[in-house]
A and B are shown apart, each in its own frame.
Chain A
């Protein structure tokens, strides 16, 4: 289901998701119950929608001040996977969302996430845009793509696709400092995913996501081949300047790209110096032998 379904961007997204084959089970916008968006009836509340349907996934595309409320409503009514697209969610709200999510057994992706896609089965969010672009950019395969930037998720996937390397899943984890699933959690999940044999990670300055992943890999080495590309090397030299995503800032050396790269290398991750080097060690073989 889509919370905030009647919004301009949300309704365009619904059409693209439907065109791609995602199963959308209606939507919610308080006060607009009874309307229809691309053939999908709109309800006033999640509770009402869930009386008629059994949605387990929600895509939240509501204004930032309303996200906490929307998320809590979703968790309270059976939602087990919640993609939060909204940007600029206050950090206190984000903290509350993550706490509630873990108590309710719900996995959150985002906030500030463009979405996720399992080519070519289904997608959540606006990732890839129109269906023709999605089909061109993504291809089914055994490499997972995890990215802090929405645009770079598609860019990396498109790059891999053009070299015959398909994707098992591509996830925009979101550009905010507090997100529902970071590199560590997702790599741990992918460890037991038989359709995935390698992972490409896109990182940026700020936060500790890359360092946390490195620490986890040192403690529990992965069977997966992991390649990483980090942008924003120049931000290391511009302390205290915030670029783009809320999390992208280096303060007194903390969150610097150089430190992240070194940590990842120490943990056995291949860190590409040039974007084009991301292909290292990945071969265009989409079949994965069971147990590999």
Chain B
């Protein structure tokens, strides 16, 4: 057998074993997207690196008005597919996983909402095992407020069932947001998020409940 061609990549996960060789080469790993990272993506990476606990990042920027704070990995893919299927325009892809701090979640929330043209945020995760739903809720509420917005205006759906979900439900009820439970599927949450989105929908919405 004769090798006629090769396609190889240098594995990022093993880079720590070749630090001495790699350092003089500068940055040789392409970003996950294969193109230069956008300012939003760089900032998201910085936020995620704030703290080694959990993941609140893996942001890929798209052009759209619906910001997505989604997780874990498989659920993120599932929700993103479903949002597109229902005609939604995602502003970004992201992944929440592990146990990120409320600060990190808040910072990411504020960042996603800062993208021009974004008018809604959907927070959708699978039934969580070791992510605390209440910490995600705290972070999201804090981040929305830091962005100068009201959770009940901007959150089109919040669905993080599993560990500490009752506490999360209370945190969001306190700011006038009704959370979706595990009986509402990931697909259905995407449909709800898209149905609620858009500036046109905002104008025609009846006033929401108290905060």
Contact residues of A with B, CB < 8 Å?
9, 12, 64-65, 88-93, 114, 126-130, 133, 137, 147-152, 154-155, 158-159, 162, 175, 202, 204-205, 229, 231-235, 240-246, 248, 274-276
Contact = CB atoms under 8 A, between A and B. Distances in A.
Interface stretch (B78-86, B140-148, B192-200, B201-209): B78-86
A150 B131 CA distance: 12
A201 B87 CA distance: 27
B74 A202 contact: yes
Contact of B129 (A129, A162, A234, A246): A129
Contact of B13 (A133, A235, A243, A246): A246
Contacts of A232: 77, 80-81
A151 B72 contact: yes
A90 B13 contact: yes
B108 interface: no
B167 interface: no
Contacts of A274: 187
Interface stretch (B19-27, B42-50, B112-120, B178-186): B178-186
Given A133-B129, A155-B74, A234-B80, 13 more contacts: A9-B130, A91-B13, A129-B128, A150-B72, A151-B73, A151-B75, A152-B75, A152-B78, A154-B162, A231-B78, A244-B58, A248-B73, A276-B187
A224 B77 CA distance: 27
Contact of B75 (A155, A175, A235): A155
Given A126-B130, A133-B162, A91 B73 contact: no
B100 interface: no
B132 to A, nearest CB: 9
Interface string B69-107: 001111111101110100000000101010000000000
A276 B185 contact: yes
B129 A149 contact: no
A91 B77 contact: no
Given A241-B32, A244-B73, A90 B129 contact: no
A275 B127 CA distance: 14
Nearest to A278: B185
B2 interface: no
B126 to A, nearest CB: 4
Given A64-B13, A91-B13, A155-B186, A243 B127 contact: no
A275 B17 contact: no
B60 A243 contact: yes
B66 to A, nearest CB: 14
Contacts of B84: 234
Contacts of B73: 149, 151, 175, 243-245, 248
A114 B76 CA distance: 17
B188 interface: yes
29 contacts: A65-B16, A88-B13, A92-B14, A93-B14, A128-B129, A129-B163, A148-B74, A149-B73, A149-B126, A150-B74, A152-B78, A155-B74, A155-B126, A155-B127, A155-B186, A158-B161, A162-B183, A175-B73, A231-B77, A231-B81, A232-B80, A232-B81, A243-B32, A243-B60, A244-B72, A244-B77, A246-B13, A248-B73, A275-B78
B3 interface: no
B13 A151 contact: no
Interface in B1-57: 11, 13-14, 16-17, 32-34
B125 interface: yes
Contacts of A246: 13
A242 B60 CA distance: 10
A231 B74 contact: yes
Nearest to B125: A151
A170 to B, nearest CB: 12
A133 B163 contact: yes
A209 to B, nearest CB: 13
Contacts of A92: 14
B77 A151 contact: no
Given A129-B129, A133-B163, A241 B33 contact: yes
